[in-house]
């Protein structure tokens, strides 16, 4: 498949975002690699260009309004259009029960994971509306579907992201913009490094996941590639759970 689509992926210097940028570039997207660190984005964009793809690097801390505005403005200045927005960057500063979540941490989580995705979608809307078959994809989590003792505030933000997908699908539909999400289960990235360092936990996840393994970034990148493609032309307002089946186990 070839496409000239211009696609921004937030948080794409590592993990799921990086793999998504690489896969979309392989499929002909002109990708904008973005994270807080310009040098690490440049390195990923260089690798993509070396592999024959089209990529630019624009640093953007999703918690900062001026950087969100600059991300959209610089993308359109460079490539003249914007077709897809993949909202992948997220913050999770607390690992522990809810009494450990102070207001500052709560505000960071909700701001970076929820408000910023909504704000960036609005900043992108006029550009997306000019393109046929444009879309927004939120990278959520199964933490937004299940109770959790240690990443509960993060889960709250992911549940809110799922609702944002539904709300924006309604608001943006009139402009022909589809809005969807993917809710990954456990994926092998830096984000889950601490958990995956615990051999017993890994064994437990492997045994309880119907597909009997830990997810890889490619497992999610392929779902995102589907959601920005015309294969999902009739999907909007949906969050696809991609977790090897773990959310349907019910503990038995
Ligand atoms: P990761 O490997 O830690 O990568 C995170 C990426 O986001 C990096 O490029 C990081 O680069 C960037 N980033 C972090 N904070 C940022 C900020 N404030 N502004 C802009 N960029 C920022 O994480 P991942 O596992 O790929 O996670 C990606 C998404 O998947 C997140 O939305 C996460 O909630 C979701 N998810 C992950 C898992 C999992 O098990 N890994 C499961 C479910 C859902 P810099 O540090 O250089 O900014």
Average pLDDT score over residue span 98-103: 97
Distance 212 CA to ligand 1 centre (A): 24
Do 132 and 178 contact (CB within 8 A), yes or no?
no
Q: Is 57 in the pocket of ligand 1 (CB under 6 A)?
A: no
Q: Which pLDDT tens digit goes with each residue over 136-164?
A: 999 999 999 999 999 999 999 999 999 99
Distance 108 CA to ligand 1 centre (A): 14
Which pLDDT band holds residue 250 (cuts at 50, 70, 90)? confident
Which pLDDT band holds residue 251 (cuts at 50, 70, 90)? low
- What CATH architecture does domain 6-244 belong to? 3-Layer(aba) Sandwich (3.40)
Q: Which pLDDT tens digit goes with each residue over 104-123?
A: 999 999 999 999 999 999 99
Residue 95 appears among annotated catalytic residues: no
Q: Is 37 in the pocket of ligand 1 (CB under 6 A)?
A: yes
H or E stretch covering 170 = helix 152-173
Q: What's residue 1's pLDDT?
A: 41
**What is the best residue among 9, 10, 15 to mutate for testing ligand 1's pocket, by most ligand atoms within 8 Å of CB?**
15
At a CB cut-off of 8 Å and minimum separation 6, what does 36 contact?
A: 59, 60, 61
Residue 252 clears pLDDT 80, i.e. is over it = no
pTM of structure: 0.98
Residue 26 clears pLDDT 90, i.e. is over it = yes
At a CB cut-off of 8 Å and minimum separation 6, what does 126 contact?
A: none
DSSP 215: B
**What is the best residue among 191, 214, 239 to mutate for testing ligand 1's pocket, by most ligand atoms within 8 Å of CB?**
191
Pairing of strands 178-184, 54-57: unpaired
Q: Is 20 in the pocket of ligand 1 (CB under 6 A)?
A: no
Q: What Cα–Cα distance (Å) separates residue 231 from each residue in 1, 104, 133, 234, 239? A: 11, 41, 11, 8, 16
| Residue located nearest, by CA, to atom 31 of ligand 1 | 90
Pairing of strands 135-139, 6-9: unpaired
Average pLDDT score over residue span 31-46: 98
State the virtual CA torsion across 90, 77, 231, 165 in degrees, nearest 10: 40
Q: Is 205 in the pocket of ligand 1 (CB under 6 A)?
A: no
Percent of the chain with pLDDT over 90: 96
Q: Is 192 in the pocket of ligand 1 (CB under 6 A)?
A: yes
CA distance 22 to 29: 9
**What is the best residue among 8, 9, 11, 87 to mutate for testing ligand 1's pocket, by most ligand atoms within 8 Å of CB?**
11
CA distance 215 to 206: 10
Residue 209 clears pLDDT 80, i.e. is over it = yes
């Amino acid at each position: 498949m070839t496409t000239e689509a211009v696609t921004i992926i937030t948080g794409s210097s590592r993990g799921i975002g990086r793999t998504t940028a690489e896969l979309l570039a392989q499929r002909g997207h002109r990708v904008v690699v973005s994270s807080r660190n310009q040098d690490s984005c440049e390195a990923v964009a260089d690798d993509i260009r070396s592999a024959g793809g089209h990529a630019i690097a624009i640093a953007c801390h999703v918690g900062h309004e001026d950087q969100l505005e600059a991300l959209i403005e610089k993308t359109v200045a460079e490539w003249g259009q914007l077709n897809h927005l993949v909202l992948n960057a997220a913050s999770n500063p607390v690992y522990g029960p809810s009494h450990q979540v102070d207001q500052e941490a709560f505000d960071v989580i909700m701001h970076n994971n929820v408000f910023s995705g909504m704000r960036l979608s609005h900043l992108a809307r006029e550009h997306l509306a000019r393109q046929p078959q444009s879309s927004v994809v939120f990278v959520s989590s199964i933490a937004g579907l299940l109770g959790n003792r240690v990443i509960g505030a993060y889960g709250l933000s992911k549940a809110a992201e799922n609702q944002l997908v539904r709300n924006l699908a309604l608001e943006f539909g009139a402009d022909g913009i589809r809005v969807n999400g993917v809710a990954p289960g456990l994926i092998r990235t830096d984000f889950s490094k601490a958990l995956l360092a615990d051999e017993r936990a890994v064994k437990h996840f492997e045994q309880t996941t119907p597909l009997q393994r830990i997810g890889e970034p490619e497992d999610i990148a392929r779902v995102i590639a589907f959601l920005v493609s015309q294969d999902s032309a009739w999907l909007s307002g949906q969050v696809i759970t991609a977790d090897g089946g773990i959310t349907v186990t019910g503990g038995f």
